[in-house]
Each structure stands twice: as structure tokens, then as C-alpha cells.
Amino acid sequence: MDEFSALLREVLNYRKGERSSTLSWNELQKGKTLGKRVVTYFDGQNPQKSPIDILKIEGEDFQAQNICLTLSPPQFNFSIEGLIIANTGKNIQQTSGETGNIQLLNGEFQLPESVAIIEWGIGGVSQTAEVDFSNGLCVNLTASFVRVSSKVTAMSDGGIGVPTPGLITLSGFVGPGIPKSNNAQRTFQLPKVESLGPQLSPLFPIPNFAKQAILSMAAADNTGTIVPWSGVLQFWNDTQGIGIPICEGKFTDEVRFPMIVPNGAFYFKVLNTTPLNPVEFTRGRVVFDLGI
């Protein structure tokens, strides 16, 4: 069967409601780059002016189908005092330019945090979601086009230091998929707290497709010893976060159950209620499970 005949058959089957997923995938991927790797530089100080494109695949409306998108964990390459530093998977390695020997490094630099911006849809209708992929990501989407880009986050003083400048390698690929959900997450870093009394975080927008969230924190005294913490996660529909929240839930180092994001909630913030005497500082994050 020639190419034209196969495409005509696909169109006719689509109109009859008898789509062939294999044929549809063959047509969607034909002549397109299904996997891509890009390298970009991060200076460690200034936010990115615009996201970095990773991958784009576009097809006709009748070619819409289930697509599995896989994003590899970002790889980092740094140059510190003449040494070349590489992150391969979970291990941070130092490679000597003279001998080629490799040894593990501990805590000598900070890895930047990145989020993937996924846009997908059919025809003129699309959706966009920001998701974590520091440890890799695999999501399944129903679409005729998928576009993926990335941006570096966690530029604030969340108690983890400023990311080290260097090269970041981003990569991803797509293939036929099956429908399933709840693989994706989005993490928000809270400002580091070093003063006495309850402290409110800034107001953050709730990420698209958020289903539930959990608050996790860490507190330490002036000797560096980890101590108990407590905080309240609040959901708001007020753009200023003033008045009474829609709902709130208390989290501690011993009680951390996921909190459902209620309908009508568009923003969130955290009230840090950790007793700061003799606590030296606290820091924390809110992790959302996304329904994609």
C-alpha cells in the first residue's frame, strides 16, 4: 500500500469512528524528530529570559492519539577551579583533565532545579502544565501535537544556596502510549525562615491540573541538629491572600497526609508555625500531584 492510499484509509477510518492507532502513529511520526537533546548554559545568578525548547512534534487533527512523553533527568556539567564536574544520573563525578580519574563529590556545588513546560492538544485547543522532572518524567497524553520546553527555577534563598553555573543537557522523546494519570508532580520551594514567630510565605498560584498537595519542611537548631517542625497549608481564591482561606490543613514532622485541592482554589501559601526557639531556621516545599 502506497503512502497516499494509507493516508486515505486513515481518513476514512477516522470518519467512520474506526481509527487505527498503529497507522495513526505511523503518520504522526513520519519525517519528524521523535527524540532530541539540547545543551544550554545557566549562569547561576539570573533567571532565564525564556524557556529552552526541548522537543516538538505536530500532526493533523485526525492523527490525535495516546502519546507517551519521556523526559530524561537533566545532566549538569560545571567547571570549578579548573576541574570539570559532570552529573551522570544520581552520581556527581569529578573528572581530572590530566589523568581521567573519577571520584565522587559531596556538597561542593548546588544543582539547579528545572521544570518542564508541556503543551499539548488537538486542533486549535491546547493545554499547558508545568511539571517537575529533576529525576526524570514519563507522562501519557492524548494529542495531535506536543511541545516541551524547560526553565530553571528555585532562584530564591530557600536555604539550599545559589545554583552553580554550568551547562545543562536536556533531552526527551515520544512514542505510542496508553492512557493513565497521576505520574506528574510540581514542587514549590518556600523561602528560608530565620526569625521568631509564625511566618507566612508568599502567595503562589496553584499549578494546572493539581489534584492534591503535601507540605514537607525541615528545621534545625544552631548546632545543625534537625528538630520537630509544623506548618499550615492554605488554599485561597483571593488574589492577595487576604481574609479567610477556602480551607487549610496542618502538617508536622509526624503527620503528613496529602491534602485535596478544592474546587475554586487558585492560590496557596504556607504558615510556618514551627517554634523557633531554639530553632535556627526552617525551610520547606509543597509538592502537588498533577492529574496528567
14-30: per-residue pLDDT in tens?
A: 444 444 444 456 666 66
Going by pLDDT thresholds of 50, 70 and 90, the confidence category of residue 247 is very high
Q: Is 224 a residue whose pLDDT tops 50? A: yes
What value does the mean pLDDT of the chain take? 76
Q: Is 255 a residue whose pLDDT tops 50? A: yes
Q: Is 42 a residue whose pLDDT tops 90? A: no
Domain 33-180: give its CATH architecture: Sandwich (2.60)
Helices (H), the chain: 3-15, 21-29
The H or E element that residue 103 is part of is: strand 102-104
Choose the weakest-confidence range: 70-74, 150-154, 156-160, 228-232.
Answer: 156-160
| Domain range list for the chain | 33-180, 181-292
**What is the average pLDDT across 199-220?**
90
Domain 181-292: give its CATH architecture: Sandwich (2.60)
Compute CA distances 118 → 4, 20, 97, 127, 217, whole Å: 32, 26, 38, 8, 28
Three-state DSSP class for 12?
A: helix
Going by pLDDT thresholds of 50, 70 and 90, the confidence category of residue 129 is very high
Looking at residue 271, its pLDDT comes to 92
Q: For the chain, how many helices (H) and strands (E)?
A: 2, 22
**What is the average pLDDT across 77-93?**
52
**Does residue 137 or residue 134 have the better pLDDT?**
137
Tell me whether the CATH fold assigned to 33-180 matches the one assigned to 181-292: yes
**Using an 8 Å Cβ cutoff, are 62 and 7 in contact?**
no
Q: Is 102 a residue whose pLDDT tops 80? A: no
Q: Is 59 a residue whose pLDDT tops 80? A: yes
Choose the weakest-confidence range: 58-62, 195-199, 285-289.
Answer: 195-199
Q: Is 237 a residue whose pLDDT tops 90? A: no
Q: Is 105 a residue whose pLDDT tops 50? A: no
Which residue type is seen at 154?
A
Taking the alpha carbons at both ends of the chain, their separation in whole angstroms is: 37
> pTM higher than 0.75 for the full model?
no
CA dihedral 5, 8, 12, 17 (to 10 degrees): 100
Looking at residue 91, its pLDDT comes to 44
Burial of 230 per CB tally in 10 Å (0-12, 13-18, 19+): buried
Looking at residue 162, its pLDDT comes to 59
**Does residue 275 or residue 26 have the better pLDDT?**
275
Going by pLDDT thresholds of 50, 70 and 90, the confidence category of residue 166 is confident
